[in-house]
Amino acid sequence: MPRYALKIEYNGAPFNGWQRQAELPSVQGAVEAALAMLEPGEHTIAAAGRTDTGVHALGQVAHCDMAKDWEPFRLSEALNYHLKPAPVAVVACAAVDDDWHARFSAEARHYLFRLVVRRAPLTHDAGLAWRVMQPLDLAAMQEGAAHLLGRHDFTTFRASECQAKSPVKTLDRLDIEELDYPGGREFRFHLSARSFLHNQVRSFVGTLERVGAGAWAPEDVKAVLEAQDRAACGPVCPPYGLYLRAVDYPDDPFA
């Protein structure tokens, strides 16, 4: 059966996450329903990462198997037609080898988290960024973030229901930039790793926000990391500022 890689963008607000769930809307369910409109029957797709309820994607990657050969552009156009009006779009499609796998062939995943500091509620970015009202110290957050880089036991930043076999991961990137924002400031957290634990990114950002607000010192991040205790973690921030930005493969199927 011909296999296709799909690069998918979505707004996670109306979905109970990526993974298909009985009687609850999911991104996976929406894409599989669109596939069934093209080739009747049951479809099961696999993705590079299972985003949580309310989390968005700019470059989620999934693969599907089809009964007939499709020209990739026509497949993406047909899927987008049947995905309407859901806030999901296939932005790229490519034919791949039968053994190519969206999850297991991936070698890096990149996330973005958007945090806006301002008193006024968000209008255009409501549901697309986390708003806090107190000023944040960029340098302090960057100093705290440096303690998280590299290979560590990230038990402190792992959700209790995480199904990963090991809490040991290697964090390759955690950069924070500060930008102008109408009536305030925006902080963008850029994170990269081969894989992440459940709630790891949101736990990092929630902890670093406490550092930026002055409630924690930057060196406290090192202490809670070394504690390897979930109870030591800072508050987990909301999902709606988080985006799966991109997924890397040894050979980019969309190049």
Per-residue pLDDT of the chain (255 residues; tens, 9 = 90+): 899 999 999 999 999 999 998 889 999 999 999 999 999 999 999 999 999 999 999 999 999 999 999 999 999 999 999 999 999 999 999 999 999 999 999 999 999 999 999 999 999 999 999 999 999 999 999 999 999 999 999 999 998 788 788 999 999 999 999 999 999 999 999 999 999 999 999 999 999 999 999 999 999 999 999 999 999 999 999 999 999 999 999 999 999
Question: Pairing state of beta strands 46-47 and 3-10?
Answer: unpaired
Domain with CATH 3.30.70.580 in the chain: 3-105
Q: How far apart are CA 158 and CA 225, in angstroms?
A: 11
State residue 118's pLDDT score.
97
State residue 162's pLDDT score.
80
Domain with CATH 3.30.70.660 in the chain: 108-246
Tell me the CATH number for domain 3-105: 3.30.70.580
CB under 8 Å to 161, separation ≥6 — which residues? Answer: 198
State residue 22's pLDDT score.
85
State residue 164's pLDDT score.
83
State residue 203's pLDDT score.
97
Q: Which is nearest to 155 in space by CA: 171, 172, 168? A: 168
State residue 172's pLDDT score.
98
Active site residue 52: yes
Residue 132 belongs to what H/E stretch?
strand 130-132
CATH 3.30.70.660 at 108-246, yes or no: yes
State residue 240's pLDDT score.
93
Q: Nearest 5°: phi and psi at 123?
A: -110, -70
State residue 23's pLDDT score.
86
| Per annotation, catalytic residue among 52, 97, 248, 251 | 52
State residue 159's pLDDT score.
87
CB under 8 Å to 168, separation ≥6 — which residues? Answer: 151, 152, 153, 154
State residue 139's pLDDT score.
98
